[in-house]
Amino acid sequence: MTGNSDPGRTTPAVSTLTATSIVVADMIGVGVFTSLGFQVTDIQSGFSLLLLWFVGGIVALCGAFCYAELATMFPRSSGEYNFLTRMYGPAVGFMAGWLSATVGFSAPVALAGMAFGQYAKTILPAVPPLPLGLAVIWGVTYVHLRGTRQSSVLQVSATLLKLGLIVTFIGWGFAKGGSESISFSPDGFVPTQIVSANFAVSLVFVMYAYSGWNAATYIVGELADPPRSLPRALFVGTGLVVVLYVALNAVFLYTTPLSELAGQVDVALIAGRHIFGEQGGRFVGGLICAGLIPTISAMMWIGPRVTVAMGEDVPMLGLFARHSRRGVPRTALLLQCAIASLLLLTQSFEAVLDFVQFSLIFCSFLTVLGLIKLRIWDSDLPRPCRTWGYPITPVIFLSVTLLMMIHLIAVRPAQSLAGVILMAAGVVLYRFAMAQTRRKGRSAAKAEDRSSD
C-alpha cells in the first residue's frame, strides 16, 4: 500500500468555496423535490413534517462532524476507501472502493442524467430524454477532462445558479400566499411521534435526500489546507442544505393543499403551478435541470478519486492511477462516464441503486464506528479537527443508519442481499489482485536469481 501519487505530478489546490459547492451540489439532487408526497400520506402535521427534515439534517451534520475528524487525520482523497483501509485493513477499504468505483457514483450520475432529460421536457418537449441525459453527462465529463480550473469554474458557477433559483422559488412561494389546509404550529404535536413507525420510515427517505454531506472528504488530498478547509466545507455546505431543505418543504406545504401532494412524485411541479401559475412547470423544470448539472459535476469530480487511490495501491489497477499533464485522472474519469452512460442506455440504474443503497449505508456505518474504535485504541493519534459533541454525535448517526439498514432488510431483502454479495465480490477481487501481485513478485525474484547465477 503506497498511497502516493505520481512523483512528477502536481495537483492544483481546490479552494474551500469549490469544496463547499461540491458538498451542496452533491446533496441537492432530485430527492428533496419528490419525496414529500410520500411523507404526507402518513404524517399530516406541518410541524411534524418540517421536524422530520430538521432531524434528518441534524443526523447529516453528525455524520459531517465525524468525517471531518477522520479526513483531517488521514488527508488522502478517496473517502471511505481511505478511512476503512486505515481502520480495518486494505481488504475492507477495497470493498468500499470497489462499490464507489463501479456503481456507487455511476448509478446516481445515470439517474441524474435521466432526471435531467425528463424535466427538460417541460422546456424542450420535442427532444427525447435519453439523448439529453447522455449529453449532459458527456458535456460535464468534457469540462472535467480539461483540468481542475475549468472544473472549479463549472462547479462553483452552476452551484451558485442552483442556489439562486432555489432561493427565488422559496421567496416567491412565501410572498405568493399559502393554502389554509395545513398549520406549522406545534399545537397537538406529541413527542412520541418521533419514534413512531411512520416517522421512522419517512426519515429513511429523508436521509436519502441528504446523502452527499461527505462529498468533500473524497478530495481532501487536493485541498490547500485540509485541517481548516475540509471542516468548513462540510459544515457550511451541510448546514446550508439543511436550511434550504426545511424552507423548500415549508413552501411546498404552504402553497399546495395536502390532498394534491399525497402520493405524488412531482411535488415541485405541482407546487410550482400554484406559485407561478400554469407556466410554473417550466420554471420548476428549468430549476431542476440547472440544479442537476452541478450535481452530476460533483459526482464526476469525486468518484474517480476513489479509483485513482485504488490504482495507486493495487498494482493490477495501476492504469487508473494515471493523470494527464493537467492533473486530471483521465482514465478513471472516462471509466465512470462509460459506466454511467451504459447504465443510462440500458435503463438499469434504478435496479443498481436499489441494491447498492444497503452497501453504501453499511460503509458509512462502519466508518463512524471506526471513529469510536480509533478513539479507544488509538487515542494518541493526532486529530487536527475533533468531532464536535463526541460521543453523542456518532451515536446519533450510528443509530439512524442502523435503523435505515434494518428498514432496507425488512422491505427489500433481496436487494440488500445483492448488496452484501457485491461487497463480498470486492473482497474476493482484492484477494485475487494481491495474489497475482505476489505471484509476479516471486516470478521476478526467481528470474533475477537465475540471471545472477
Q: What is the mean pLDDT of residues 61-88?
A: 96
pLDDT at 180: 62
pLDDT at 145: 96
pLDDT at 233: 97
Tell me: cis bond preceding 391? Omega within 30 of 0 counts. Answer: yes
**Rounded Cα gap, residues 353 and 362, in angstroms:** 14
- Which residues, in sequence order, are CB contacts of 66 under 8 Å at separation 6+? 367, 368, 371, 387, 393, 394, 397
Whether the per-residue pLDDT at 265 is higher than 90: the answer is: no
As assigned by CATH, the class of the 16-439 domain is mainly alpha
Positive or negative CA dihedral for 268, 273, 279, 280? negative
Whether the per-residue pLDDT at 182 is higher than 80: the answer is: no
pLDDT band at 319 (very low <50, low <70, confident <90, very high): very high
pLDDT at 195: 67
Range ranked top by mean pLDDT from 1-5, 45-49, 169-173: 169-173
pLDDT band at 410 (very low <50, low <70, confident <90, very high): confident
Whether the per-residue pLDDT at 3 is higher than 70: the answer is: no
> Is 339 strand, coil or helix?
helix
pLDDT at 347: 83
Domain ranges of the chain: 16-439
pLDDT band at 2 (very low <50, low <70, confident <90, very high): very low
Instruction: Supply the DSSP string of 101-124, one letter for each residue.
Output: IIIITHHHHHHHHHHHHHHHTTT-
- Condensed to tens digits (0 to 9), the pLDDT of residues 16-27 reads 999 999 999 999
- Condensed to tens digits (0 to 9), the pLDDT of residues 105-148 reads 999 999 999 999 988 888 888 899 999 999 999 999 999 999 98
pLDDT at 4: 42
pLDDT band at 169 (very low <50, low <70, confident <90, very high): very high
pLDDT at 215: 96
Mean pLDDT rounded to a whole number for the chain: 89
**Rounded Cα gap, residues 246 and 48, in angstroms:** 11
pLDDT band at 203 (very low <50, low <70, confident <90, very high): confident
Whether the per-residue pLDDT at 453 is higher than 70: the answer is: no
Question: Is residue 299 within 8 Å of 221, Cβ to Cβ?
Answer: no
Which residue in the block uniquely carries the three cell numbers 452551484?
A: 159
Instruction: Supply the DSSP string of 34-98, one letter for each residue.
Output: TTHHHHTTT---HHHHHHHHHHHHHHHHHHHHHHHHHHHHS--SSTHHHHHHHHH-HHHHHHHHH
pLDDT at 21: 97
Pick from 18-27, 75-84, 135-144, 170-179: least confident: 170-179
Exposed/middle/buried for residue 59 (C-beta within 10 Å: 0-12, 13-18, 19+): buried
Whether the per-residue pLDDT at 5 is higher than 60: the answer is: no
> Is 223 strand, coil or helix?
strand
pLDDT at 348: 80
Q: Residue 321 corresponds to which amino acid?
A: A
Whether the per-residue pLDDT at 321 is higher than 80: the answer is: yes
